[in-house]
A and B are shown apart, each in its own frame.
Chain A
Amino acid sequence: MSESWRRLASDVPALLALAVVALFVGAALLADVVAPHDALAVDLASNYLPASRTHLLGTDHLGRDTFSRLLLGARVSLTIALVATLAGLLVGATLGLIAAWRRGAVDGTIMQAVDVLLSFPDMLLAIAVAAILGRGVMSTIVAVAIFSVPIFARLVRASAQSVVGADFVVASRAAGASATRILLRHVLPQCYAPLLAQGTITLGSAILFASGLSFLGLGVQPPDPEWGAMLSRGRELLRSSPLGAVAPGVAITLVVLSFSLLGDGLKDALDPRR
């Protein structure tokens, strides 16, 4: 492990990415404390203000402070991404483990189901989910989770397959350990490294995906701030009041890029073959 850390520490892009992620996570956690204004306070008389000392990123249509909304939006976006990724990981990993362990028809059925899921265009799937569950945070989480299940299932199955036949697994089987115990104690830990790397990358795409949904009006509903929704509303004013769209746009880009770089860095650092 220390070897992995050393490798990660020498990966400058990954370290920078880690710093950006930490910054945004910090902002999300401390949004209430750090935000200079109430992100939901409407004050029509002071709308469309340009950036200033009191309003670092100006104000939006309704006179709400864009910087404060960006911070609170970080919380919304990151929470959605985290919950959805964890849910996708849990379901995906379980499916992958079962497929690897039972093999044969069970494996075939699960993996085919996963392939079917994978073949759906992401957005179409999400729109279907929003249509069934109604728009809002919950359906966004479900949609993003569903879309991240296949990748985790495949990843865990591939990693698990390489160890289910290993001597230590056969030994614990012979010793009478239950399948659940073997999978959780012996097989799953072998998948931690790729899961961590993939999970980080998925967090990034989850944010992008959730923003896309909100951009289309299917995700987080107003007046709650969310980056995609902010971008969508600010877009019309790109020419006259650009910060309203540029700020959330840059935030999305930075965070998604950072998660992606960090994930790549982790993948390299944790790769046992290196």
Chain B
Amino acid sequence: MKKLIVVVLVLLVVVACGGGGGSNTPTGPRDTLVFAASADATTLDPHNTTDTESDQVIMMLYETLIGFDRDMKIVPRLAERWDVAADGVTWTFHLRDGIRFHDGTPFDAEAVRRNFARVMDPVANHKRLVLFDMIDRVEAVDARTVRITTRYPFGAFEPTMAHVSAAIVNPAVAEKFGKDFGSAADRASGTGPYRIASWKKDQEIVLERHDDYWGEQGRTERIVYRPIPEAAARVLALEAGDVDVISRIPSADIARLEKEPGITVTKTPSVGMQQFRFNVTKKPYTDVRVRQAISYAIDRRAIVDNLVSSFARPSTGPLTPIMRGYANLGEIPHDPDKARALLKAAGYPDGFKTRIATTPRYPMGVELAEALAADLKKVGIEAAIDVIEWGTMVTYWAGLPPEKNPQEIFIMGAGASTADADWGLRPIFRSAPTNENNYGYYSNAEFDRVIEAAMRETDAEKRQQLYRRAQEIVYLEDPGAVWLFDTLYVVASRAAVEGVTPSPLGAVTFAHAVVR
């Protein structure tokens, strides 16, 4: 009996010491970081991606020749230097030596050529084909030199080459799987700092460190992407410590999380903005004065200060300040009297009835429509609201001719994935017969002319002047949208997490992240 008591006492002492020691001695960084995504990736093929949840995994697996740094400056990646000839169309990229794909295959100029052949193949018709429309040909000059010739001098060529869809995939693997490349863990191979270990659809994607990476090694062994679609559940998972990092946080929770000890919230100025577009083919939006009236009728300050203050700044133009080519045109003032006068001049002294289409997919999407309707009511416009779920909403934006599109005013989140004025203005406001990208059928002859000239202008200053003019036109002279606010990209993480890289493109990556 005595013996037993002694044994128990000794055990207790050991356990107590062990416990104390465990909590006092740092155990070093954890080997796994867990990120709660709002949805699973749809594809890990950079040539076919159009959604952020896929992009941010792709950005860990693959790399571009040149890339963006945190301030959206162009920096070298797979290419160590590059230059453009005096003709403005011949670009030469000098590739880094000694880079290998995840399966050990060397990366070279031929791989680059085969990548562009793949993404630009009209038969395969990958989703990002149109992004590289300006490229005429891509040649491998020697093993470490690539020459890309554009069909015309293209001012936004560098940001286009830094776009996630210009990422270089392992051509042998891509050619083997064709359209199915990027659809499973064994069908994705790049040069990035992490490689894919497993992918259980809608459950988790596990990335592991690529030990042969040419650049700075990842600090965490495994990065896990766990989709949690319900925003409130994501926040709870972070607070409970089940996950280390989350994004797409409900706006009302942001302020609360900021005050919570143990949690760090970072806000990054982004390319994203929230607006409501006009279908300019629908009466009365054919009249520019009606669109201007609506622009003046909205109290943006009240909306930004009260409804979305935790993640928004008032719009100061049709692009956001971080974008190349942005012009600060100032906030549009709230002026109901001017709005009424414009309506009167347009022949609607008593206002009119209209419909606003919105979707809860955008943060505060429904509330924004309600706030808009309340402001419009004050100038005599009766707006009914249609809350439409995302799947239906996108069918209205899928290349319909105007007569088949019933929408009048509709919510729209915009954000050019090249962070450049060209992609931020040209596809969405240049005249087009159907609405593949120009969802509201916006059409302005001067805008078309200016935007076309700007696209071919390589002189930085002239280019900036042309884009400024284009922005003046579409912002308020002949408004294409009700500009509301620029969005901040918000990421929340456990305080123990360091080195998370939020991008102004609204994606977060973990190449240098660590959990202490």
Interface of A with B (CB < 8 Å)?
42, 44-45, 47-48, 61-63, 135, 217, 221-223, 233, 235-241
Contact = CB atoms under 8 A, between A and B. Distances in A.
B306 A222 contact: no
A213 B250 CA distance: 22
Residue in A48, A239, A241 whose Cβ sees the most chain B Cβ within 10 Å: A239
27 contacts: A44-B299, A44-B305, A45-B302, A45-B305, A47-B306, A61-B307, A61-B364, A62-B370, A62-B371, A62-B374, A135-B387, A217-B360, A217-B387, A221-B387, A222-B366, A222-B387, A223-B370, A223-B374, A235-B232, A236-B231, A236-B250, A236-B252, A236-B253, A237-B253, A239-B252, A240-B252, A240-B256
Given A47-B307, A223-B385, A42 B252 contact: no
Nearest to A235: B232
Sorted nearest first, the 8 A-B pairs with minimum C-beta distance are: A42-B374, A44-B306, A44-B302, A237-B252, A236-B250, A61-B367, A240-B252, A217-B387
Given A42-B370, A44-B371, A239-B253, 5 more contacts: A44-B302, A47-B306, A217-B389, A236-B252, A240-B256
A63 B299 CA distance: 15
Nearest to A236: B250
B373 A223 contact: yes
Contacts, number: 66
B80 interface: no
A44 B304 CA distance: 10
Nearest to B306: A44
B255 interface: yes
B223 interface: no
B384 A221 contact: yes
B303 interface: yes
Interface of B: 231-232, 235, 250, 252-253, 255-256, 299, 302-303, 305-307, 360, 364, 366-367, 369-371, 373-374, 384-389
Given A42-B374, A44-B371, A45-B306, A237 B250 contact: yes
Contacts of A42: 370-371, 374
Contacts of A135: 386-387
A52 B235 CA distance: 28
A223 B369 CA distance: 9
B258 to A, nearest CB: 11
B386 A221 contact: yes
Contacts of B370: 42, 62, 222-223
Given A42-B374, A45-B306, A233-B367, A221 B385 contact: yes
A233 to B, nearest CB: 6
A48 B387 contact: no
Contacts of B387: 135, 217, 221-222
Contacts of B385: 221-223
Nearest to B372: A42
Contacts of B303: 44
A240 B366 contact: no
A62 B367 contact: yes
Contacts of B374: 42, 62, 223
B375 to A, nearest CB: 8
Nearest to B378: A42
Nearest to B236: A239
A48 B306 CA distance: 9
A236 B385 CA distance: 20
A63 B305 CA distance: 13
Contacts of B256: 239-240
A236 to B, nearest CB: 4
Nearest to B364: A61
B252 A44 contact: no
A64 B387 CA distance: 19
A219 to B, nearest CB: 10
Given A47-B306, A223-B370, A239 B232 contact: yes
A42 B374 CA distance: 6
A140 to B, nearest CB: 13
B235 to A, nearest CB: 7
B334 to A, nearest CB: 12
B250 to A, nearest CB: 4
Nearest to A42: B374
A62 B360 CA distance: 15
A48 B256 CA distance: 13
A239 B260 CA distance: 13
B255 A240 contact: yes
Interface centre among B364, B374, B388 (most CB of A within 10 A): B374
A236 B255 contact: no
Contacts of B250: 236-237
B322 to A, nearest CB: 27
A239 B235 contact: yes
Contacts of A222: 366, 369-370, 385, 387
Nearest to A136: B386
B152 to A, nearest CB: 46
A272 B331 CA distance: 74
Contacts of B386: 135, 221
A233 B367 CA distance: 9
B307 A238 contact: no
Contacts of B369: 222
A24 to B, nearest CB: 25
A135 B369 CA distance: 17
Contacts of A63: 306
A71 B314 CA distance: 35
A113 B3 CA distance: 80
A240 to B, nearest CB: 5
Contacts of A240: 252-253, 255-256
B136 to A, nearest CB: 47
Contacts of A61: 307, 364, 367
A239 B252 CA distance: 9
